[in-house]
Amino acid sequence: LDARAMQEAEARQAQLTKPAGALGVLEETSVRLCGIQRTCPPRPLAKPVVAVFAADHGVHARGVTPWPQEVTASMIENFRAGGAAVNVLARQVGAEVYVVDMGVNADVAADDRVLDRKIRRGTSDLAAGPAMTRDEAAAGVFLGADVAQQLVAAGHDCLLTGDMGIANTTASAALIAALTGAEAADVTGRGTGIDDPTHAHKISIVKVVLERRPASEDPLETLASVGGFEHAGLVGFVLAAAAMGVPVVLDGLIAGAAALVVQAIAPGALDYCFAGHRSAEPGHRVALQHLGLRPLVDLDLRLGEGTGATLAFPLVEAAGATLREMATFDAAGVARK
């Protein structure tokens, strides 16, 4: 981040017509936006985009969710048609929506909004062995980075993360436990709203994964062992955004799990990330604490797709707008205390 732009932003916040600190979290947000863009006041975030990283998971066969795996592919058609929640919320804030097929277990037609980056038709069952090879994980990171570069080249100035994949909360829980040291029971939630027996079974599967996994300090190895193709893509997406100096708004649990991998690889990249929201999933709370990020929206969402990031985007933009547009005490002729 650019320290000089951030100092300018802090000094400017102190001159705006409001008590010092009265805009709360928006002030820190505005300062960091200046650091990311390397200028104060920050430029408007005029062309936001949501990238929905989609993939399937071999662990689905273990019965961790009652939803059929085919729903991943049908939801991609729903995204394409503009009928999913993230489409609705993105239209509200003027964001475009792209889907990135990282490894859906179905034939997905590619077009200008649905990008074919398929590594394989679903990961292997991570309760039985590594979800993917190390090469596949690395390929996923590169593919995700390439998507970020393509979107920024197309003029997008704020990247919002999204995700879709039946059983992806199981892989996310495993990743979060592996990277934070938390217990399976503390990070494994009800996902789509599973009942008590399925929840208990899901926790037992995550325990099996954590016992099966060889100890490793290598984040790419951990990603390959217990993650998903969409996590790999998201890791590259965030790393590339940071490298290009473009702000990222993270969505919920799946993004939080991927961000922990980013933190382990290059912690400075998190400076470019805003936590869009805190989901109802217990693992997301653990992830955000470990990441040191405060969520902007906290409304018990647990939908994924990028819905939390999209709802939060106007708050990030509003923070920047205060620095650009608010009057100073001197200009407005308002007395100070």
Of 17-25, 102-110, 214-222, 253-261, which segment contacts a copy of itself by CB under 8 A?
A: 17-25
Q: Give residue for tokens 């991943």.
A: 72
Given a contact cutoff of 8 angstroms between Cβ atoms, the answer to whether 254 and 281 are in contact is no
Which residues from 209-268 bind a copy of itself, rule CB under 8 A?
none
Residue 154, interface with a copy of itself (CB under 8 A)? no
Kindly state the smallest distance separating residue 316's Cβ from a copy of itself, in Å. Answer: 11
* Member of 4, 11, 14, 21 binding a copy of itself (CB under 8 A): 21
Here's the x/- map for a copy of itself, 71-100, by CB under 8 A: it reads as x--xx-xx--x-xxx-xxx-xxx-------
DSSP-derived pairing of the beta strands 273-275 and 248-250: parallel
With beta carbons less than 8 A apart as the criterion, state whether 271 and 35 touch.
Answer: yes
Min dist CB 17 to a copy of itself, Å, is 5
Strands 48-55 and 96-103: parallel
Q: Which residues of 189-209 are buried (b: 16+ CB within 10 A; e: fewer)?
A: bbbbebeeebbeebbbbbbbb
**Rule CB under 8 A: which of 284-323 touch a copy of itself?**
296-303, 307, 311, 314-315, 317-318, 321-322
Start-to-end C-alpha separation, the chain: 33
State yes or no: residue 68 binds a copy of itself (CB under 8 A): yes
Residues annotated as part of the active site? 305
Q: Per residue in 86-125, is it b (16+ CB within 10 Å) or e — as a string? A: bbebbeebebbbbbbbbbbbeebeeeeebbebbbbebbbb
Q: Looking at 23-31, 55-63, 157-165, 253-261, which segment touches a copy of itself (CB under 8 A)?
A: 23-31
How far apart are CB 245 and a copy of itself at their closest, in Å? 23
> Shortest approach of a copy of itself to residue 298 CB, angstroms?
6
| Residue 230 φ/ψ, nearest 5 degrees | -70, -30
17 binds a copy of itself (CB under 8 A): yes
- Stretch in the footprint of a copy of itself (CB under 8 A) among 31-39, 136-144, 179-187, 191-199: 191-199
Burial class (CB in 10 A: 0-12, 13-18, 19+), 337: exposed
Asked if omega into 66 is within 30° of 0 (cis), the reply is no
CA-CA distance, 63 to 85, in Å (whole number)?
26
Is 193 an interacting residue with respect to a copy of itself (CB under 8 A)? yes
70 is an interface residue for a copy of itself by CB under 8 A:
yes
The distance of closest approach from Cβ of residue 142 to a copy of itself in the complex, given in angstroms and rounded to an integer, is: 31
Binding site for a copy of itself (CB under 8 A): 16-26, 65-68, 70-71, 74-75, 77-78, 81, 83-85, 87-89, 91-93, 191-193, 280, 296-303, 307, 311, 314-315, 317-318, 321-322, 324-327, 331-337
